[in-house]
Amino acid sequence: MKSFKKTLLGSAVAVFALAAGSVSAQAETLRLLTWGGYAPEKVIEMFKAETGIDVEVTKSNNEDMISKLRATGGSGFDLAQPSQDRVTGAQYEFEIYKPIDLSKIDTDKFIPSMLAATKKNTTLEGKVYGLPHIWGTSGLVLDTKKASMVKDYTDLCSPELAGKVSYRLKRPTLIGFAYAMGLDPFAAYGDIAKYQEIMNKVQDKLIDCKSNVKAYWSGGDALMNLIRSGEVVAAMAWDTGGWKLNKELADVTFVAPKSGALGWIDTFALPKKTKAEDAAYKWINFVMQPKVAAMITDAAGNFTAAKGADEYVNADLKTRFQKSFSQADIDNVKWYPPVPAGLEEIEGKVLDKVQAASSD
């Protein structure tokens, strides 16, 4: 009997040890919920070589990230990468994230203005829920010889460019034109009446500008074809599209507007029930090293918030980036804050009126 008890006890200990070993093994895997290109295989290999931690990547997008984390109450993943304007709203409504412990982050690795902007835009009830990682902008894509007078969004309405410009009938155009008109739409986010007043002024400007528009573009390929053909010489568009065109047409490139490019940032955010929190912090500090961040830029096509990383990206992309953005241009980027309820309805009505208005 004693022998049987010892055997049973030994088996139990063995099972416990196996279970503990399993938990330990799980703790050495970082489950990353992110976008395509943000975790290149080479970077994952380097991270494992340095830390011993595996990285399991699940590719996703904003809506999918929120849906997955909402369905599980914030479990299933150890680190997520939602855009900064999709963090506090989801946290307020679903409580799927946990606050960032900034003492575990090497904040010196971040571009200060981006870190400050993202901290501000992901703070809820005094707690920070997101840190900046990958970013991009929309601004101006110009034929610099034929549209050299264009310095800001409203310059697209210059008489000499009649019928030769393009932009989208989407909210970035409303926001960009508002800033170029000396207004501050993001500052009015908390005041619906003030925001309506700003949008009314933008609406009038866009209606006056209609005769300059060759076409309202709806997809990047359509815009690039308009510029390649010479039908459009100035447009409001994304930075990566401008740099792609610059490879083919030396006179065409992305230009940061005088009033500021409009910036999006994808973040690092901790799911509420992360099981590998230390691994998540190690990953953040690892990928924010300039040389590692440059490898991610080469894979994703967009730059990161890592300070000094642009020095290590491939030479062509580095040159295009540095020609488009001085440090002052980067510090002047208007980062999208969370959108309060009610504003998108206002914007939708403005866009409909611009679409329906005569171009005479």
Q: What is the DSSP string of 202-263?
A: HHHHHHHTGGGEEEE--SHHHHHHHHHTTS-SEEEEEHHHHHHHHHH-TTEEEE--TT--EE
Q: Which two tokens stand for residue 32?
A: 């990353």
Q: What b/e sequence results for 79-93 when a residue is b if at least 16 CB atoms lie within 10 Å of its CB, and e otherwise?
A: bbbbbbbbbbbbbee
β-pairing, 123-124 vs 127-128, is antiparallel
> Mean of the pLDDT values across residues 193-197?
97
SS3 22: helix
C-alpha to C-alpha distance for 26 and 21, rounded to whole angstroms? 9
Phi, psi of 262 (to 5 degrees): -100, 120
Local structure of 42: helix, strand or coil? helix
Q: Evaluate whether 324 touches 242 at the Cβ level (below 8 Å).
A: yes
What is the predicted pLDDT for the residue at 360? 62
Give yes or no for residue 353 having a pLDDT over 80: yes
What pLDDT digit, counting tens, does each position of 91-131 carry? 988 999 999 999 999 999 999 988 998 999 899 999 999 99
CA 99 to chain centre: 20
Q: Identify the residue whose tokens are 């011993």.
A: 52
Exposure class string for 316-345: b at 16+ Cβ within 10 A, else e: ebbebbeebbeeebbebbbbbbbeeeebee
Answer whether 221's CB lies under 8 Å from 166's CB: no
Q: Are the C-beta atoms of residues 100 and 129 closer than 8 Å to each other?
A: yes
Helix, strand, or coil here: 60?
A: coil
The model's pLDDT over 145-186, given as tens digits with 9 standing for 90+, comes to 999 999 999 999 999 999 999 999 988 999 999 999 999 999
Give tens-digit pLDDT for 286-329: 999 999 999 999 888 888 999 999 889 888 888 888 899 998 99
Q: How far apart are CA 117 and CA 138, in angstroms?
A: 17
Residues 3-60: tens digit of each pLDDT? 433 444 444 444 434 444 444 444 489 999 998 889 999 999 999 999 999 999 999 8
Provide the residue type at 154 as one letter.
T
At 14 the three-state DSSP class reads helix
**What is the spatial distance between Cα 303 and Cα 309, in angstroms, rounded to a whole number?**
8
**Nearby residues of 29 by Cβ (< 8 Å), 6 or more positions away:** 53, 54, 55, 56, 276, 279
Residue 86: predicted pLDDT: 85
pTM of the model: 0.72
Q: What is the pLDDT of residues 224-267, one digit of tens each?
A: 999 999 999 999 998 988 998 998 999 999 999 999 999 989 99
Please state, as a whole number, how many other Cβ atoms lie within 10 Å of the Cβ of residue 57: 17
Residue 40 makes CB contacts below 8 A (sequence gap 6+) with 295, 296, 299
Question: Residue 37 corresponds to which tokens in the numbers above?
Answer: 């290109």
